[in-house]
Homo-oligomer: A and B are copies of this chain.
Amino acid sequence: MSTKYDIAALKARLGSIKSEDNPALVKQKSRDFFWYSPTLKRQLDQVTGDIIVSPTSEAEVLQVLAAAHALGIPVTPRGTGTGNYGQAMPLSGGVVLDLSGFNKVKAIEPGRYVAEPGAILSDIDKQTRAHSRQEIRLHPSTYHTASVGGFIAGGSGGVGSIKWGGLRDWGNIIRLRVATMEAQPRILELQGEDLHKVSHAYGTNGIITEVEMPLGPAYNWVDVIIGFDSLRGATEFANSLGEQDGLALKELAVVAAPAPHDYFLRHRKFLPRDSHCVIVMVADFAVESTLAYARRFRGAELLMRSDKLTPEEAKGLPPSFELAWNHTTLRALRVDPSITYLQVLYPFPNQVELVEKIHQRFGDELTCHLEFVRFDGKITCFGLPLVRFTTEERLEEIMAIHEEMGAPIFNPHRYTLEEGGMKQTDEIQLAFKREADPQGLLNPGKMIAWEDPEYDYRAGKTFLFRSLGEAAGG
């Protein structure tokens, strides 16, 4: 595949900055977990950049951006490629800006740390734990592989959200440094209200070069799995447990039978096939209170607690957060590749009833998977239900029915910010793109408001970025 960009000229301007243009390696680093979605798999499978460039300092980032800007080459930033929606896939080719080597933890203080964007979340934790028994507040289930910059640019919450809410909630990011895409790239410092400009913007309007993030206390977390013979029982318990403000919880999920038994293969020995499971991470000192509270719920059965396993039993067990969030889907996909998923909000205060109503409606076509979170000061749950995939049309229909029934969908089968999010223009992110990327060279095709300001979100169509259209057209 020939490219329209002058990659040779770019390389000349990169000096000693590491780069790679072997097409196989470039294609490999142009991908993420988009293949969770059959729709995205069809649309994005051929997407590749032209060159991977791997700066390891802010100065190098600025040098790459200036060079690409001068040559009119798009730049798509990437942490470690653990996103699910093609966030970091270069739809127009050009530079894949690999930030995984720009990864030092620079400072640790009470309640906060400063790091470079490529720092892996679990590596940050190792350092903050050793330094002062602190840990990051929020992480995706890809804790061991995801970078903090990628999480901020492309994630939204995860493990820890039962305590701290979402990543974009006030206080969950303290400060970001961002490089602009201009002839002379600038560095901007963003705090407070300004953080909304670039968090969860997929790197479409600036390149994060430094993060300052809050820390929570690092406890000894215990994994607890409690089984119920009805989904309703599991959901009611999880919701009530989440509302116990004094319990130090880090994760709280529900996975309906028979998924735990069928898909959590290493845990299978603990999981009866008909048990609807509540998966909990709780501080060691709160385990007894949590179990005492559970005994108030009819049919609650303790299936596993990690602090009482023999070394034999514990051997090879993944941490419970690797049964949750997108890892639930991943484990299901490994067993049954025909499965896909949705992202649903069940709004407070009717979440328990709504979960039941929706799952009764769909029966076996959907398997319930809930993640309880704090949301605007209340406890409610997101759903990442497993879907027995048939056609893209049926998938659309399932989502439409959810919305009709009162459960908003954050569509994980779309690569644009708007379609995956609120289905409307984010004026703040758009305005910042005008300022920080006037040529529209950063991660092209992901912000509909930029590409097609007249786009009608209510038309019920899928946005198709022109570069993909061209590719599809030949």
Report which A residues bind B (CB closer than 8 A).
109-112, 132-134, 137, 163-166, 169-172, 174, 191-193, 212, 214-220, 242-248, 283-286, 288-293, 295-296, 349, 374-379
Contacts and interface: CB of A to CB of B under 8 A. Distances in A.
B245 A214 contact: no
A169 B248 CA distance: 12
Contacts of A109: 285
B284 A246 contact: no
Contact of A292 (B193, B292, B293): B193
Given A112-B285, A166-B245, 15 more contacts: A110-B220, A111-B285, A133-B133, A165-B246, A169-B246, A170-B246, A170-B247, A170-B290, A170-B292, A171-B247, A191-B288, A192-B288, A193-B296, A216-B217, A245-B374
Contact of A170 (B110, B112, B293): B293
A55 to B, nearest CB: 28
B242 A377 contact: yes
Contact of A377 (B217, B288, B292, B378): B378
A172 to B, nearest CB: 4
A82 to B, nearest CB: 22
A246 B377 contact: no
27 contacts: A111-B248, A133-B133, A164-B245, A165-B245, A165-B246, A169-B244, A170-B246, A170-B289, A171-B245, A171-B246, A171-B247, A174-B285, A174-B286, A174-B288, A174-B289, A191-B289, A192-B289, A192-B293, A193-B296, A212-B285, A214-B286, A217-B217, A245-B374, A245-B375, A245-B377, A377-B379, A378-B378
A242 B245 CA distance: 13
A293 B296 CA distance: 39
A395 to B, nearest CB: 32
A208 B15 CA distance: 71
B243 A377 contact: yes
A288 B292 CA distance: 40
B170 A244 contact: yes
B286 A110 contact: no
A377 B244 contact: yes
Nearest to A193: B292
A224 to B, nearest CB: 14
A373 to B, nearest CB: 9
Query: What are the nearest 8 A-B pairs in CB distance?
Result: A243-B377, A192-B292, A165-B245, A171-B246, A172-B246, A171-B247, A169-B246, A245-B374
